[in-house]
Structure 1
Amino acid sequence: MAGRTHALARSRRVEGPSPDPCPVVSRASRQCQLVTAILARSGGAASGGWIGDGEGAEQAEGTSIGPRTFVIYGIIMEAIEDEAPDEMVDKAGQTLIVPEVGMAFKSEDQAYEMYNTYAGKVGFSVRKSHTKRRVDGSISQKYIVCSNQGYRESESSQDTKRAGCNARIHRETESSQDAKRTGCNARIQFSVNREGIWRVQKVVLDHNHDFASPNKSHKLRSQRRVIEADKRLISQIREAGMKPAQVYEFMKEFYGGADKMPFPRMGCNNEIGWQRKKYLEPNDAQTLLEYLKNKQIEDPTFFYAIQVDEVDGQIANFFWADSQSIMDYACFGDVVSFDTTFQTDKLEMPFAPLIGTNHHMQIIIFGAALIFNESVESFVWLFETFLTAMSGKHPSTIFTDQDATMAGAIAYVFRNTSHRLCLWQICLNAAKHLGHVIQKHSEKFVHDFKKCVYEDRSETLFIKMWHDLVTEYNLEDNQWMADLYNLRKKWAAVYNDSFTADMTLTHRSEGMKNVFKKKFRRKLSFSEFLVEYEKVSASLRENELDADFNSCRKNPVIYIPNLPLLKTAAESYTRRVYSEFEEEFKQQFSFSCKLLQADGSNLTYMVMHMQSVHGATVVFNKENMTITCSCRKYESIGILCMHALKVFNANDVFILPSQYILNRWTKYAKRGFYIEKEGTETEDLKMRAARISRKVASISLKCSLSKDLLDYLEKAINKLDLEADNSLSKIEEKSNEGPSV
């Protein structure tokens, strides 16, 4: 077999002080050496080089000459695939550290890193081999060898003899079954003293096989590593919601193609799997407790409480709310939705968020609970704890599902609060109990059912519509419908006598449920659940910030630009609420308005849709500009209804009375409320590192138009890398120093 040799250029030492007899070599404490390597498919010859010394010496660009510095100037000859075997191409500027006897390292990792980096540049793979230990078990000697060292078990002893090597047979360590070892003797031998210093004792640089070409060196086994920066990036894109199968494709694009990838698909998948394992803590209760304590350290106004079972002393329930949630409740705590139908983890423990709606009609979180024991006592404890966190403020309305235990606790704690049933939950239950009707009549029954549920003009009309519904679909004997009718005052719109902030609409309730169900659709461990909860909370708050910005910076397009009533509404309401108000304003033009009675300044009107014989009764006082409607939309939602706006129009009222602009729907609903946090003026190290990383990426893109700029940038980064290693080494040495006596 033709030999393959890696030869160093001849060199001589630059004048200067003699080297330290026991140097600890690291990237930060030595100059990189330029080396000449012959990468031909057959035959090898050493290539000469030289170094200069003194002021008259010629110097390679980008290198420095000084005391205790080796400088080797040369080129790497690289075989180009698909060309004649003896064709060579010069590739200048390749820099690597060549192993030499006497080099010393602080740890096994540093020693391995040096040799593996060298191997990657030259084009071979390495693996750890023999280890010799002292009597006390500490390592005294270690070999790191070329991966082609020795022979496989599958290779016959005759093949071994023909190769002229008596090396013992090693077990297979490469992933490829058909890969052949060649009995290569290239290796590096370390001796390790009792202080843990790894010193190069022997080096063999000659190989008896071809090297991998540069465009394939990243596929070598020892080069397929996921570095810390890649791990961080993989973690971040996984946290952003990217599926595992998509992560590797993203990384390929990030690095510019599969041939540029520093690790294989399996390495990427292994890293994702390892990150998942981080969440598998055995003690879930302790994990949550530590989470809550850490949150309170970060946020001094963070509130949490734990209920302990009096019988067995075990933790029963958790509740927590951060400062943002407490402030949001102070602003928008008039309506609360409470739901325990979310299953969070492998223990199937209910997660119960307390949810509301902000001035953009978006979902906000007032607090969260984990319920171990769904008893009346547990719910009473939870609701009382919630009131404690919120300074005793009771909501006007609370929405829940049809749970008798929960209803009893609400009646006991929230005595001044209207308890309403969630219409979205009722519609879901209707699909379960009336599936045969829905299947037979498809969308018609659903339409008629919802029309009846949302009927708000009069109780008489609601009762008539309900009986018509039951009769038309032969549901007179259906027990579920009978039970639902008995509870009608808790869910029917016509019986609503409290503020609901439009949370009665099923699509809003469904949106609230989906926010969590999308995140908690799979079985989560405790820690994974906490991470997902944080992400949901952060996402909702980011949505609010976006809506705040758009409402303050962008004016909506007004339906009738010169109408003062709409202009006032557009200037006052958030964009989302103005859209709802304008829709009500437009709807009035499909209604007729008939005066029924005039009693002094009080005018009573019947407002009806042109295609209906039923309408809403509106009473308007011309003196104090007060108006009420039988549909009670303003009392329930806080926005004037189409019926009231029709009466305003009939009486030439073109300015929106200020008493009908509810502050909780305006752009400035949170004015006067703020969160006082400590330490928010300065960014932490993680935030600063992320900002600098973004800046470096931006600079890299700027330089991508010029090879010279990229070369300059890379040299600067390499220099900073060395300086960082040096500084970290000094910090580590200082931390390891014992106290002075």
Structure 2
Amino acid sequence: MARPQIDRAEADAVLQELRRREDEDDCENFHRYELDAEQRLKSLFWADADSRLDYYISHGDVVVFDTTFRTNKYGVPFVPFVGLSRHRTPVFFGCGVTSDESLDSYVWLLRAFAMSISQDRKPRSVITDGGDAVVGAVRIVFPESNHRICSWHVERAIDEHLHGSSTQDEFRSLMRDACSPEAFEERWYGFMARHGTAANHRWLEDMYGKRELWAAAFVHDKFFLGMASDQRTECLATCLHTGLHGGMSLPDLLAHADACTYALRLDVARLDVEADRSRVELTTGHRCLEEHAARRFTPANFYLLREEIMMIDGFEVVKTLARGHPIFGKKVYVVGFKQRWGVFFYVECSGDAVKCSCRKMEREGLPCRHIFCMLRHNNLSRIPDCCALRRMRRRGDTKAERLDEMKELGHQVFDLASEDAQEFQEIKEFLEGWLEHRRSGAVAVGDNNAADGDSVPPMTKKTKLIED
């Protein structure tokens, strides 16, 4: 069947609008297009300035790329590039349309996306629908990125190609069990012997060829922000597919993308305001750690962390390897179950770095119960900076961090100064003088974020901020 051709007038109208936005609205708006031999529009990618900024700030570490939705009058893929915000909601990075679903076209589309983002900030991980051309394109354009197939698409294929609940459940266990690659191979051949048929053989062979993109044995330890089993979260791109219909033209798709991305940004802005104002109830027996997590992380991430904090009562540090460990590094805490011996986790502390052998931090970007157990063992009430990724934290987290540092430093200064009457008076007079000048305006009040180590690096654009 001949590939659909996009109407010239529609293509010209959309390209003219994208050029206007780039020339008149903001020079950081971005678009690229490709024409076929007949000078018709073959592929198009666009991203506005705010989408590029969202990627640049921190949300672009995991990118979802879905090509399976073709709900428009041409039947061509409408391809949004989507990520996960600090509130675990969708955030938009750009959008593409291509009328040629070949490997070359998807390579072109991914390269256009790569051109729109910072060249030194390629995505750490990519989640796709798993089409053969898409898989090949990711290998070519982002060879160093982790890549996995969205489990929602795998589930759809299971329902289509495998019959019987026991057969489907056995395949799902291959998908979800974090066994070794060797154990997976043994289990796979057993599955094929029991359930392989002439009808499903081709699909099973194809899935085996892609096993490193969907089986937990191969993807479990890779960084996907905890989206390994959460199908709803993985299908972030569906937020831009809702509302599509078969009669939509190319200008309709552009307007649809504009409306959806505007709604997504409003949602993130609303959640930022709610996070700044929120005061969560502390429910665990580890108040200091829980309180610090509540101040530092967005509510969506804090609730995940609280589950880990609640679990540390079942663990204890059974040994400290002060001289180091041949595998795990310098200072290592051996953490085990209180009621079950023989299973141990190793928390390595080396300088400013903290790692655990369970690798939850490396997979999901959030510290595990074993790290919290080590912090409790050392009577520490602060979560280390290395365990608090910026993309997981509140928008106003910098002020909270400064306040915590000032409290800790002040406690030490006041404790020492209170032992000597003269030092006490000097410190008291200094603080009273500073407050007087601050209140009178003698101390200049600048941009609170200007000297912030987490401030956004300068970009050649006028940043548009959504304020409440």
Tell me which interval the TM-score lies in, with the shorter structure as reference length. Answer: 0.7 to 0.9
Residues 1:541 and 2:265 are matched in the alignment: yes
Match of 1:455 in 2: 177
Structure 1 residue 348: Cα displacement: 0.6
CA 1:606–1:564 in structure 2 vs 1: closer, same or farther (change >3 Å)?
closer
Residues 1:503 and 2:227 are matched in the alignment: yes
Match of 1:426 in 2: 154
Larger Rg: 1
Structure 1 length as normaliser, TM-score? 0.47
**C-alpha distance in 2 between matches for 1:587 and 1:466:** 34
Aligned pairs, number: 389
**C-alpha distance in 1 between matches for 2:390 and 2:368:** 17
Match of 2:303 in 1: 579
Residues 1:412 and 2:137 are matched in the alignment: no
**C-alpha distance in 2 between matches for 1:642 and 1:466:** 32
User: 1:488 is aligned with what amino acid?
Assistant: R
Match of 2:411 in 1: none
**C-alpha distance in 2 between matches for 1:300 and 1:577:** 35
**C-alpha distance in 1 between matches for 2:211 and 2:317:** 31
Equivalent residues of 2:335, 2:346 under 8 A apart: no
For residue 635 of structure 1, the aligned residue among 356, 362, 373 is 362
Q: CA RMSD in A?
A: 3.6
Match of 2:400 in 1: none
Alignment of 1:8-19 (within 5 A): none
Instruction: Tell me the SS of whatever aligns to 1:333.
Output: helix
Instruction: Tell me the SS of whatever aligns to 1:364.
Output: strand
Match of 2:21 in 1: 295
User: 2:369 is aligned with what amino acid?
Assistant: M
CA 1:676–1:353 in structure 2 vs 1: closer, same or farther (change >3 Å)?
same
For residue 90 of structure 2, the aligned residue among 363, 369, 382 is 363
Equivalent residues of 1:327, 1:673 under 8 A apart: no
Instruction: Tell me the SS of whatever aligns to 2:127.
Output: strand
Match of 1:515 in 2: 239
Structure 1 residue 466: Cα displacement: 6.2
Equivalent residues of 2:348, 2:354 under 8 A apart: yes
User: 1:493 is aligned with what amino acid?
Assistant: A
Structure 1 residue 538: Cα displacement: 1.0
Residues 1:475 and 2:195 are matched in the alignment: yes
Alignment of 1:549-564 (within 5 A): 549-560=273-284, 563-564=287-288
Tell me the alpha carbon deviations over residues 676-735 of structure 1, each in whole angstroms, 9 at most, x when there is no partner.
877989xxxxxxxxxxxxxxxxxxxxxxxxxxxxxxxxxxxxxxxxxxxxxxxxxxxxxx
Alignment of 1:143-292 (within 5 A): 283-292=9-18
User: 1:291 is aligned with what amino acid?
Assistant: E
Flag the structure with higher helix content. Answer: 2
Alignment of 1:437-456 (within 5 A): 437-438=164-165, 441=166, 445-446=168-169, 450=172, 452-456=174-178
Residues 1:400 and 2:152 are matched in the alignment: no
**C-alpha distance in 1 between matches for 2:243 and 2:141:** 31
Residues 1:662 and 2:374 are matched in the alignment: no
User: 1:318 is aligned with what amino acid?
Assistant: L
For residue 456 of structure 2, the aligned residue among 650, 669, 672 is 672
**C-alpha distance in 2 between matches for 1:536 and 1:581:** 30
**C-alpha distance in 2 between matches for 1:516 and 1:394:** 23
Equivalent residues of 1:324, 1:675 under 8 A apart: no
Equivalent residues of 1:475, 1:481 under 8 A apart: no
Structure 1 residue 577: Cα displacement: 0.8
Residues 1:334 and 2:61 are matched in the alignment: yes
**C-alpha distance in 2 between matches for 1:678 and 1:621:** 43
Structure 1 residue 507: Cα displacement: 2.8
User: 1:495 is aligned with what amino acid?
Assistant: F
Tell me the alpha carbon deviations over residues 579-637 of structure 1, each in whole angstroms, 9 at most, x when there is no partner.
11112222445x555848947354464656979x995x521246747543344221121
**C-alpha distance in 2 between matches for 1:531 and 1:341:** 20
**C-alpha distance in 1 between matches for 2:457 and 2:152:** 32
CA 1:557–1:333 in structure 2 vs 1: closer, same or farther (change >3 Å)?
same
Tell me the alpha carbon deviations over residues 377-429 of structure 1, each in whole angstroms, 9 at most, x when there is no partner.
22222222222211323111111122222222222221322222222211111
Instruction: Tell me the SS of whatever aligns to 2:164.
Output: helix
CA 1:343–1:678 in structure 2 vs 1: closer, same or farther (change >3 Å)?
same
CA 1:340–1:621 in structure 2 vs 1: closer, same or farther (change >3 Å)?
closer
**C-alpha distance in 1 between matches for 2:356 and 2:183:** 15
Alignment of 1:698-709 (within 5 A): none
CA 1:588–1:370 in structure 2 vs 1: closer, same or farther (change >3 Å)?
same
Match of 2:214 in 1: 491
Equivalent residues of 2:365, 2:389 under 8 A apart: yes
Equivalent residues of 2:66, 2:129 under 8 A apart: yes
Equivalent residues of 1:323, 1:675 under 8 A apart: no
Instruction: Tell me the SS of whatever aligns to 1:300.
Output: coil
User: 2:164 is aligned with what amino acid?
Assistant: V
Instruction: Tell me the SS of whatever aligns to 1:519.
Output: coil
Residues 1:570 and 2:290 are matched in the alignment: no
Instruction: Tell me the SS of whatever aligns to 1:342.
Output: coil
Tell me the alpha carbon deviations over residues 102-137 of structure 1, each in whole angstroms, 9 at most, x when there is no partner.
xxxxxxxxxxxxxxxxxxxxxxxxxxxxxxxxxxxx
Equivalent residues of 1:588, 1:645 under 8 A apart: yes
**C-alpha distance in 2 between matches for 1:384 and 1:523:** 29
Tell me the alpha carbon deviations over residues 493-542 of structure 1, each in whole angstroms, 9 at most, x when there is no partner.
34335422233333344541431332115542333332222211111111
CA 1:603–1:459 in structure 2 vs 1: closer, same or farther (change >3 Å)?
farther
Instruction: Tell me the SS of whatever aligns to 1:640.
Output: coil
Structure 1 residue 564: Cα displacement: 2.1
User: 2:268 is aligned with what amino acid?
Assistant: E
Equivalent residues of 2:352, 2:386 under 8 A apart: no
Equivalent residues of 2:150, 2:231 under 8 A apart: no
**C-alpha distance in 2 between matches for 1:587 and 1:515:** 34
User: 1:294 is aligned with what amino acid?
Assistant: R
Q: Percent identity?
A: 25
**C-alpha distance in 2 between matches for 1:464 and 1:634:** 29
Equivalent residues of 1:458, 1:631 under 8 A apart: no
**C-alpha distance in 2 between matches for 1:485 and 1:399:** 18
CA 1:324–1:609 in structure 2 vs 1: closer, same or farther (change >3 Å)?
farther
Residues 1:346 and 2:346 are matched in the alignment: no
**C-alpha distance in 2 between matches for 1:464 and 1:609:** 34
Equivalent residues of 2:65, 2:79 under 8 A apart: yes
Equivalent residues of 1:648, 1:654 under 8 A apart: yes
Structure 1 residue 340: Cα displacement: 0.8
CA 1:575–1:418 in structure 2 vs 1: closer, same or farther (change >3 Å)?
same
